[in-house]
Each structure stands twice: as C-alpha cells, then as structure tokens.
Structure 1
Amino acid sequence: MKIRYLLLHAYGVGGTIRTVFNQAGAMAALGHEVTVVSVVRRRNTPQFGLDSRVRIEALVDQRGGVRPDSLGRRVWRRLRGRMVPRGEFAAGYFTERVERAVIDYVSSLRDGVLVTTRPALNLIAARRAPESVARVAQDHMNLDAYPATVREDIARHYGRFDAVVVLTRSNELAYRELLPRTPVLRIPNAVEPSGEPSRQENPVVVAAGRLVRQKGFDLLVPAFGQAARRHPEWELRIFGSGSQKAALAALIDAQGLGDRVRLMGRTNRLDGELARASIYALSSRFEGLPMVMIEAMGHALPVAAFDCPTGPADVLTHEIDGLLVPPGDVAALAAALDRLMGDRDLRLRLGAEAARTARSYAPEAVMPMWVDLFSRLLDGRPVGDRHETR
C-alpha cells in the first residue's frame, strides 16, 4: 500500500517527529511504499534516524530563511483563520506560502493513505484532500489542551476523516463525545524495547523533554529541592533544549541547587543515561503520550509523575508501576520523590512492574493495529473502534 505521513517539520526535533519516523520505518520494513512529507525544511538532514526505504521530501525549503508572502503577513493573517485557526500552537509557521503549499499538496493526491499529524495539517486535509484518499488524522497531544478556536474547528471539520487516531483512552473518549459519527481509535505510539535495566545503584533522578512551559521543569526543580534536603547524595539531570533554558538555570541558582541539578542539553544517548539512573520524573502540565517516560519504564525505572491531562494515568497505575500525584502539586511531587529516594526496595518493585507495562508498547504490539486500520480503509471494510494494549 502507498502511505504518506505529513509532518510540519520532519527535519526538527520532537516526539511527534520521532514516532512518525518509527511508524514510517516499520511500514516500509513490511514492504509498503512510504513517504514522509515535511511541510517546511530548515535543516540539511533529519535529526532522527529514518529507514533508508522511506522517501522524504519537503514542500517549502526555508534553509535560506522565510521568504516574504505576496499578500503580506497582515492580510494573510486575516485570511488564514479559515484554514489554520488562531491558537494552533504552530500557527506561526503557516504563512501564505506555507499554507498554500499544503493545500496544493493534499489536493493533488488521488490514492493511498494520507496521515496528518497536528491540528493545522488535519484541518487542511479534512477540507481539501479528495475522498479517494484514505484520510487519517493523528492527535499527538490531547483535545482539552487546545484553545477553543482550535476545538471549534476540530468539531466542525474532523467528521470528514475516515478515522481519527489518538494515543490515550481519555482522549479517545473526548473525541468520541465530540465526533459521535466518526471512527475514533486509540493506537499508542510504539516504543522500541529498552536495553539494560537500571541496577538502582546511582542516586540520580532523570527528566527529559523540551525546555518549555508544558514540561513543567520549573515545578520539578523546587520539588526536587524539597526532597533533596533529606537525601544529600541525590542529583537531578534534565535532558533537553528549549526556550526556558536561561530561566531554568536562574531558578536552579535561586534555589541553591547549582551543584545538584544539571541541565544536560540534548543527547543521542538517553538510553544509557536512563539505565544509569534510579528514578524518572515527569512534571508536565499536559501531555499526549509521554514517550520518554515509557522508555524509562522499559529500563525498569520507577516513575514519579503529575497526573496531568493526558497520558501518565493512561500508562501508569499508582503504587503498582509508579507514583501519581495531583497535577501541579509541587509538595506532592516532592513527597513522591522523597519516598523513592529513601526506599530502594520500593524502587525495585515499582521498576520491575514498569518494565512489564512498557512491553505492551513494543512495535510488535502496536504496528499490527496500523496495518489493520490502513488495510480496512483501502479495502472499504468497516473500521473497528477499539484497540487495546493493556
């Protein structure tokens, strides 16, 4: 079968890009014709590995900078709301030139499967991709995280999709309520099996993600600071890059944690860092499906996490394979970290269960769901509405 994945910036960094590359590679390995289409291109090479059997192409080359639009930004901003609503997190990318390129591309398709991967692209595909194409919308975040302007357009246009695929049970229920006549399926992201499990020998807490407000590292630092008073041998390592790096560095200094909290930057060796750690912390204000958390669980790491919308509670069971605390509650997160730091037996018990949970997200458990969905759509068969991984 012919499968096209449409990404905003396939040459960038982010969980959606990595998971789509994994999906594309798995489909190519099964013998399908797979193309990853990047709306914009701002780098020479992708930042993540992509199977050589997958073709990659870009619609708008911005390596030399963003060219001015013919209509001017102010005029196009007034028109743009018809396709890409204000409030879409990546709306700034969609200049006249970029939006027209996406419209022209999806309109030109005649067959195969088109998978779009964020609200802006989903909304354009819903309105402009021909019905001869099997149209699948992915939501890598969650419905409640979007502003009202975006949710209103989702309600208005997503009903045209052949299927909407979400990552978590709670998001599935939200979409089914919003789109009662549209097939909504839960297919989680696949996570490659991890290597060496943690031996619980190093007093290290690890967190990872973009250094942006969503990830809540500004909440994790003081939570760790509170727990660390009773455990002076422990340190926190935060992996990732982003716009909040300077603010987080200032916060670490203000908390007097400069020798115990380290901003590690990006790494291509996170697996090894997870294996050498003893706890994984997730402090997000909201999530889609927390991929790195599942990777950490694969290393038998116990997790202390905010029960934020959505994701952690769809994966973790409190006191079984991790500890969940109320969203944004710094004191509660500190208490969870304190418990884990002070109890190696608890870490070993929760970590062993976490590794079992992580196995249900392995590619061999997840990819058959995608094959079944695509095959049904192309054959004109009914699309089932329940896929389980647990």
Structure 2
Amino acid sequence: MKRLKIAVVTPRYAVSGVPLAQWRFAAALAAIGHDVDLIIGRCDPNLHVPPSAGVRLSVLGSGQTRGMFAYLLRYFRRDKPDVVFSAEDHLNTIVLVAAILTGSKAKISGSSRVTPYDTYSNKVFTKRWLLKIMARMVAWRADALTCVSHDMVDQYRHVFPGSKHVCVYNIVDQPSARAKIGLPVADPWFNDKSLPLIVGAGSLMPWKGFDDLIRAVHILIKGGKPVRLVILGEGGSRPALEALVRELEVEQYVRMPGRTDNPLAHFARADVFALSSHVEGLPNVLVEAMMAGCTPVSVDCPTGPREVLQEGRYGYLTRMKDPADLAAGIARALDHPIAPEILAEGVRPFHQDVVIRRHFELLGIAA
C-alpha cells in the first residue's frame, strides 16, 4: 500500500457527530499507515482535541468556517496533500475553491452531513442561494461527493439534479472505540438494576427532541412502568428541560449530568438507548448504542434512523414528536430487547475497514 499524505478537515471540534466522525476517520487512516493531518477550524470552549497516534493536529481558532480559507490556500501550496477529506457543505466549497486557486492535484472528497433543505435555497440573492450557486460552480473539482445516508443522497439529487453524490457511512466501529465499552462508570444509576434505565445522548438543543423523551418517560411512569432516564450532553435547552422535569414531577427519575468522555460505557450499562430528534444526518449515536449491545428506540425522523435500524430489524421505530408512541416503543424494547448478535450484524457497515475501502474505491485509490 502506498503511503499517502492525507488531510482530514472539519470546521469545529465538539463532542458530537460530525467532529467526532472526522476525528475517528483521521485516526483510522493513520492507523493503517498514512501520513495524516487533522485540520480543525475551532474547538468548542472547555474542550480539547484528544491526541491520536500518527495524526498531526492543527486547530486554527477560526470563528467562522470562511476564516479557514487563507490557511487552506497556504496548506495546499506548502504541504501538497495527495488526498483531502472535508465535511460539511460550507467547508467543502471553501476547500474546492482553495484547491482550484492553488492548482492542487489532490484528490478531494467532500462529505455532506445535514439535509440540503436546511443549507440551500432558491430564493435569489440570499446567503443560502449564493452558497448553492458556489457549490454548483466548483462541484466539478470534487473527485467524490458523499452523504452519510441513502435518504440524504436522494435529497441532494433533488436539490442538485444530476449530482454525483453517493452514500458512504461514518466510521463508528473501530478498536479504540470498542476498548471503551468495558470501562467503569461511576454514576450509580448505571450500576443499579432496581429500575430499567433509558439513556439518551446529544446536544441539549430543541431539534434533539429531549422534551418528547422526558414526556415519554413521564407517560411510562404514570402508566405503572417506572423507569429512569439519563440524558448525556450539554446545550442551550438545559433550563427548559430542567423546568419540564420539575413540571412533570419526575425529578427522582430523570437526570442530565452533562457531557461524558465515554458514552459507550454508559450505553453498555443501559437497557434502552432512545433517540428523539426531529432531524438528523445519520445518527452515529444509534450505531454506538448497537455496538455497546444496547437496544435502540428511535423516532422515524429524516434522515437516517430507519436506514440504520433497517426498518426495525435492529431496533424500534416510533413516530416523530409523539411522546406516547415513543413511550410505547421504549416499553416494547424493555419487554423484547434485540439480541446482541443481531445488533452486531447492524454495526458491520460502519466498521473502519469497510468505510475506508469505500472512500478509496470512489477516489480510485488502492486500499
């Protein structure tokens, strides 16, 4: 295998889907012998990017994605990468413009992670319209354009007729992640089996639907099926969610302890993982729960949950924004958990070897 100089680029680092996926991707590429640069626009406050063997890290401190442009121009001229993997549409366009202006010969793969309906617009002279024009103008320079779910590919082909977008999943299953599953968890709720434990995880933001999840747990408790709920994560909706917990008088059953560096160990000790989002790209956290052996329950939001759970083979699907149906799904999962060997089957498409092989095939590179 030829050793390649590869840049993995992402706008920000946070303890959430896209940044973690890019960090895992960089680590996996370095682990198989490539020369890897991980370029990050900015890091969320009070966080640091964990080191990874063989990965050179550059955090630029750019307040906005466009602030990465000058650095990328210098990087293309100075470092002459063989391959660049970027993620998120604004950054993909900036990377492609920088490659064009510098005459770079790098193979470039741009990955889209959110629905194009939230990114682009046909309303003339708006910011989202201008971004759509720019993206269309520079798309020729991309050697591959990818999305993280098949449903999202369909959306992009609707917004950009004739586009070359294809589906490539994020890396979720890799040795460093599996090593975390068996580590201890100090939180007593994860070691106490007196009540079934439901876990949710993600940014505490409105589109994550955690209010629906709290209401679903309230429905279960009032219906004579007491459970505990732990929501891992942090964000601006915390005050509203805490107020809802008090309003429903479920303080003894619901906790929000904040972020954790090891959600996988928490998932492994829970009975059910619940995803209540109103929108996703492809929820890596569902795959993480499956990898940890935790039965997933997810609302059928666009895009990804139905695809990850394969119409319900690997977990339970419920209606979106419907706490009663979510409660019913959690009850079904508690009564009929998914067997570990079935969950393992669902994780296979997200293994690092499978994902890297697919990326390299699209770029015409021998893996």
TM range (shorter): 0.7 to 0.9
Which residue does the alignment assign to 1:356?
Answer: 345
Judged with a 3 Å threshold, the aligned counterparts in structure 2 of structure 1 residues 46 and 52 are, in CA distance, closer, same or farther, namely farther
The 4+ residue runs of structure 1 with deviation greater than 6 A are 42-45
Q: Residue 267 of structure 1: SS of its match in structure 2?
A: coil
Give the drift of 1:325. 1.7
Residue 119 of structure 2 is matched in structure 1 by: 146
Give distance in 2, aligned partners of 1:35 and 1:5: 6
Matches within 5 A, 1:53-64: 53-59=54-60, 61=61
Q: Could you tell which deviates more after superposition, 164-173 or 230-239? A: 230-239
Q: How far is 1:147 from its partner?
A: 4.8
**Partner of residue 96, structure 2:** 126
Do the aligned partners of residues 157 and 257 (structure 1) sit closer, same or farther apart at CA in structure 2, a change above 3 Å counting? Answer: farther
Question: Which amino acid letter does the alignment assign opposite residue 355 of structure 2?
Answer: V
Paired AA for residue 31 in structure 1: G
> Could you tell me which of 174, 184, 190 is aligned with 2:171?
190
Counterpart position of 2:40: 38
Instruction: Give the aligned residue type for 1:219.
Output: D
The answer as to whether partners of 1:140 and 1:166 remain within 8 angstroms in 2 is yes
Q: 8 Å contact 2:314–2:338 — kept in the other structure?
A: no
Tell which deviates more after alignment, 304-313 or 153-162.
153-162
TM-score when scaled to structure 2? 0.82
How far does residue 352 in structure 1 lie from its aligned partner after superposition?
Answer: 4.5
Q: Over the residues paired in the alignment, what is the CA RMSD in angstroms?
A: 3.0
In structure 1, the partner of 2:22 is: 20
1:365 maps to a residue whose letter is V
What TM-score does the superposition give when structure 1 sets the normalisation length? 0.78
- Any gaps of 5 or more consecutive residues in structure 1? 63-91, 380-390
Relative distance call for 1:42 and 1:322 in structure 2 (3 A) is closer
Query: Are residue 115 (structure 1) and residue 85 (structure 2) matched?
Result: yes
Q: Counterpart of 2:8?
A: 5
- Tell me which residue corresponds to 2:186: none
Per-residue deviation, 1:231: 4.1
1:136 aligns with 2:109: yes
The one-letter code matched in structure 2 to 1:152 is K
Name the structure 1 match of 2:124.
none
Ranges in structure 2 where 5+ consecutive residues have no aligned partner: 122-127, 183-189
Aligned length: 340
**C-alpha contact 1:299 1:355 (8 A) present in aligned 2:** no
Q: Note the C-alpha offset of 1:152.
A: 2.8
1:1-390 maps to which residues of 2 (within 5 A)? 1-10=4-13, 12-40=14-42, 46-47=48-49, 49-59=50-60, 61=61, 93-94=64-65, 98=67, 100-102=69-71, 104-105=73-74, 108=77, 110-130=80-100, 132-148=105-121, 149=128, 152-153=132-133, 154-192=135-173, 194=178, 195=181, 203-341=196-334, 343=335, 346-349=336-339, 352-374=341-363, 376=364
How far the C-alpha of 1:287 sits from its partner, in A, is 0.7
Aligned CA distance change for structure 1 residues 320 and 2 (closer, same or farther; 3 Å): same
* CA drift at 1:309: 0.7
Q: Is the 8 A contact 2:208 2:278 kept in 1?
A: yes
Q: What is the CA–CA distance in structure 2 between the aligned matches of 1:3 and 1:327, rounded to whole Å?
A: 40
Change (3 A) 1:200 1:336: farther
Which deviates more, 106-115 or 133-142? 106-115
From the superposition, tell whether residues 267 and 366 of structure 1 become closer, same or farther in structure 2 (CA, over 3 Å).
Answer: same
Q: Give the letter for the 1:108 counterpart.
A: R
Aligned partners of 2:36, 2:242: CA distance in 1, in Å? 42
The answer to whether the 8 A contact 2:300-2:317 is kept is: yes
Task: Identify if the C-alpha distance between structure 1 residues 219 and 262 changes in structure 2 by more than 3 Å, giving closer, same or farther.
Answer: same
The separation in 2 between residues aligned to 1:181 and 1:274, in whole angstroms, is: 41
Range 302-311 or range 230-239, more displaced: 230-239
Does structure 2 retain, via aligned residues, the 8 Å contact 1:22–1:50? no
